[in-house]
Amino acid sequence: MSALELKIPPVLATILFAALMWAIHRFTPGMTLPQEVRILLVVFAAILSAGTGLAGVASFKRAKTTVNPLKPEDSSTLVASGVFKRTRNPMYLALLLLLAGWGIYLSNPFSLLLAAGFILYMNRFQIAPEERALEEKFGAAFRDYKKQVRRWI
Q: Is residue 6 part of a domain?
A: no
Q: Is residue 4 part of a domain?
A: no
Q: Which amino acid is at 151?
A: R
Q: Which domain holds residue 72?
A: 17-27+40-148
Q: What is the 3-state secondary structure (H, E, C) of the chain?
A: CCCCCCCCCHHHHHHHHHHHHHHHHHHCCCCCCCHHHHHHHHHHHHHHHHHHHHHHHHHHHHCCCCCCCCCHHHCCCCCCCHHHHCCCCHHHHHHHHHHHHHHHHHCCHHHHHHHHHHHHHHHHHHHHHHHHHHHHHHCHHHHHHHHHCCCCC
* Tally of domains in the chain: 1
Question: How does pLDDT run across 51-107, given as a tens digit for each residue?
Answer: 999 999 999 999 999 999 999 999 999 999 999 999 999 999 999 999 999 999 999
Assign 22 a pLDDT band (cuts: 50, 70, 90): very high
Q: Is residue 9 part of a domain?
A: no
Q: Is residue 2 part of a domain?
A: no
Q: Is residue 116 part of a domain?
A: yes
